[in-house]
């Protein structure tokens, strides 16, 4: 469930109280960097899986023609 207007304002207020206004940009930057690294690793994993030969039910690869 996504918070509505008042819930979002309340959550933002609590975050400001807990961390302070100066710390929030640093936290956001760290979260952005982490998300960027996660997407890169996910993309690399998908690319690696697509490059590997796929196995057919009888145990041979598709490239054994």
Domain layout of the chain by residue ranges: 21-48
Q: pLDDT exceeding 70 applies to what percent of the chain?
A: 77
Most distant CA pair in the chain, distance: 65
Average pLDDT over residues 34-62: 79
Cα three-residue angle 26-29-34, rounded to 5 degrees? 125
pTM over 0.75: no
């Amino acid at each position: 469930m996504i918070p509505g207007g008042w819930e979002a304002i309340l959550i933002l207020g609590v975050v400001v109280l807990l961390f302070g206004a100066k710390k929030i940009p640093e936290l956001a930057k760290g979260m952005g960097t982490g998300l960027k690294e996660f997407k890169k690793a996910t993309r690399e994993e998908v690319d690696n899986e697509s490059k590997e030969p796929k196995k057919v039910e009888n145990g041979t690869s598709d490239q054994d023609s």
